[in-house]
Structure 1
Amino acid sequence: MRILVVDDNRACARSMGDALRDEGFVVDHVTALEDARDAASVAPYDAILVDRLLPDGDGLDWVREQRRSGNTAPILIITAERDSVDHRVEGLNAGADDYMLKPMSLEELVARVRAVLRRPASTLDLVLRSGNVEFDPTIREVRVAGKALRMPRRETCIFEMLIRRAGKTVTKGVLEEGLYSFEDDVSSNAIEVGIYRLRGHLMGSSATAKVRTVRGIGYVLESEDDAPIEVPEVPKAALLAAQVAIAMSADGGAPTPLISVIAASLDPASQPETQVAVVAAALAVSMTQKAEEEGKAVPTG
């Protein structure tokens, strides 16, 4: 998941960024509101950390601006100067999701970021599932049939983005935006390599969740458990024969047992040739019986 840190104190921002990266987050850092405005307009951030006292303004004014523009990403105010109760109330009322004072425990910072990331899904099950695979965002653990699956950070991040959108196609661009910051040097096939390795981990653990490539678009996480049952197509000849038999039955020409015979012949498990042969034989018997009842001769040639 991708985090934006807006802080002109480079040492503090570096410490926060390192702590978040160690927990699997992707972090971008800018030092001014103008840069934050540009970054938020081009990248889909999952959370934003912003200082109040910045070279070009109060971070709280930018928070209000973001909320007015429709940005719903969780925002945490991180400040060392404005620490009164009134300031904290002002920040929360302006649209911030949390308000922290410097210096803070980096462990607490990470915990608070995780907490605000959980809030949009607070009414849902926090553990994400696809087939026999589970992902717990709180501890960033992947489990297959209840057993922990250890994967490198990059493959875990890709899996998180896919399982959060399970059943839906995730474009390559979305994966790149969630995996890399502006400073990262990204190779042209980095996502393909990550997907290849992720598939290897899933297959090696007997996971029923599979990553399918949607050619030219992206990737989708699907579960074998949720796959629709494919029923073999019934031969057109058998369907036509059944329609004739039903019509004859409506005219009183086909004996009642014929319907059950036809139903049995349409069993998808049987071979198409068998289906056609059974229906044809049943029709022949029916036509013979009808002709005999009406006193007509049945042609033999």
Structure 2
Amino acid sequence: MRVLVAEDHHLLARNIATGLRRQSMAVDVAASGDEAERMCRHTAYEVVILDRDLPVLTGDEVCRRVRRLPDPPRVLLLTAAGELGDRVYGLERLGADDYLAKPFDFAELVARVRALSRRAARPTPPPLRHDRIVLDPARHEVTVDGSRTALTPKEFAVLRALMEAGGEAVAHRDLVRAVWDEHLDPRTTAVRATVSRLRGKLGDRVVIAADTGRGYRLCG
């Protein structure tokens, strides 16, 4: 799940992002309204956690603009204004999908984000197949020769990206963008380490090839 946290309070934004990443979510952070709108236009977020009191462009205006996108994300308004009138205004007039007043319990925030993600879910995709490997996105399950193989969320996401490419090379930067988030250093060895673990779990050291200068691809 990819989430945008639009919050200008640096410590709060960092804490929310860190907590969501520990829940296996890919999280980007925006500190102003104009930055949040720009990021929503260029990245397909499932959920946007949006502070109403953002600088440059208010959260209210960001919400209005984001709702007009062709495929808008679900919007969770996060604000210190928690009166009934504020909640009704955010949900009915701004078009937000949910509303959470500060201070809040982090477990509730996670539950609300997951609930919004389920509401934003696209039609169930069919299983992906490559040689002996079958990946079922709906069940989050991978089998090799009919036997289930346990993968971490990152390993699963990398394998899915490679299988969706149909044997074409997927660039390192594209894997970082699809599986991790903007927080990750593009020079990281995380992709290489994840691919190495995947090869071991799939039982074939050559099932994933590294094409110098192009990225990774499935063999066969």
Scaled to the shorter chain, the TM-score interval is 0.7 to 0.9
- Using CA pairs under 8 Å that are at least 6 residues apart, name the structure with larger relative contact order, 1 or 2: 2
List aligned pairs for 1:53-132, cutoff 5 A. 53-84=53-84, 86-93=85-92, 94-121=94-121, 124=124, 129-131=127-129, 132=134
Deviation of 1:143 after TM superposition, in Å, equals 4.6
The count of aligned residue pairs is 210
Contact 1:169/1:214 (<8 A) preserved: no
1:3 partner SS: strand
Identify, as 1 or 2, the structure richer in helix: 1
CA contact (8 A) 1:6 1:31 kept: yes
Residue 10 of structure 2 aligns with which residue?
A: 10
1:149 matched to 2:155? The reply is: no
For residues 76 and 158 of structure 1, the distance between their equivalents in structure 2, rounded to whole angstroms, comes to 28
Return the TM-score normalized by structure 2: 0.72
**8 Å Cα contact 2:47-2:113 kept in structure 1:** yes
**Structure-1 separation of matches of 2:138 and 2:106:** 21
What percentage of aligned pairs have identical amino acids? 30
What is the CA distance between 1:215 and its match in structure 2? 9.4
Give 2:186's aligned amino acid: V
- Partner secondary structure for residue 127 of structure 2: strand
2:90 alignment partner AA: G
- Indicate if the aligned counterparts of 2:3 and 2:47 stay in contact, CA closer than 8 A: yes
From the superposition, tell whether residues 46 and 120 of structure 1 become closer, same or farther in structure 2 (CA, over 3 Å): closer
The 1:42/1:133 distance shift into structure 2, 3 A limit, reads closer
Matches within 5 A, 1:234-273: none
Q: CA deviation at 1:160?
A: 4.9
Pairwise CA distance, 1:182: 3.1
Give me the CA root mean square deviation.
3.6
Q: Distance in 1 between matches of 2:114 and 2:165?
A: 21
Q: Label 1:186 to 1:72 Cα distance change in 2 as closer, same or farther (>3 A).
A: same
SS in 1 for 2:198: helix
- Residues 42 and 124 from structure 1, CA distance in 2 versus in 1: closer, same or farther, beyond 3 angstroms? closer
1:169 touches 1:218 (CA, 8 Å); kept in 2? no
Question: What is the deviation of 1:198?
Answer: 2.1
Q: Which runs of 5+ in 1 are unaligned?
A: 205-209, 225-301
When residues 87 and 161 of structure 1 are mapped into structure 2, their CA distance, relative to the original with a 3 A threshold, is: farther
Q: Which consecutive residues of structure 2, in runs of 5 or more, have no partner in the other structure?
A: none
Bigger radius of gyration among the two: 1
